[in-house]
Amino acid sequence: MQFQVPQYYEVKERIVGPLTLQQFFYIAAACGLSFLMFFIFQFWLWFMASIILLGAASALALIEINGQSLTKILFSALFYYWRPRVYFWKREIEKEEIILPEEAKQIEEIKKELSFQQKIKSLGQKILTSRLPLPGEKSAMRNVQERYQIFRKSTGEKQAAKRVDYR
């Protein structure tokens, strides 16, 4: 015996012309609301509201993103922002390190070298960014004049900045 197996089970049945029943209801509801608004509003207001309403209804009925209808995507986004978020994580496993005495000496030497290098870097940074002059430069720093000057950015906006002349 042979049986026919449906191959396109994801395709929705077209009931009203090329539209599914849900798509037809979206567009029919928008047309019905537009018809009622015709008798309530002035013509120009009715026309603007109808364009917006029919555009939204046709977007909800016809747009699909990655095989998902726009209504499903909008509801998913709404529920994502509305519901509280729950995060799950795994506990980290503690790692045990076994250090041999020879390796411990090497590690201590490396740490000492790195700390010395860090001290040199921080001292250099302090020298470069310090406002106080170095001991040998006191005479050169006496002539420093600090003024504020207004200049224009490329956008035309004015901004005040400190101007330092080392002359």
- 117-144 pLDDT, tens digit each: 888 888 788 777 776 666 656 554 455 5
Give the pLDDT of residue 95.
Answer: 79
Task: Examine the pLDDT at 27 and tell me if it is beyond 80.
Answer: yes
CA–CA separation, 77 and 90 (whole Å)? 27
Write the pLDDT tens digit of every residue in 36-67: 999 999 999 999 999 999 999 999 999 999 88
Give the pLDDT of residue 59.
Answer: 94
Task: Examine the pLDDT at 105 and tell me if it is beyond 70.
Answer: yes
CA–CA separation, 50 and 59 (whole Å)? 14
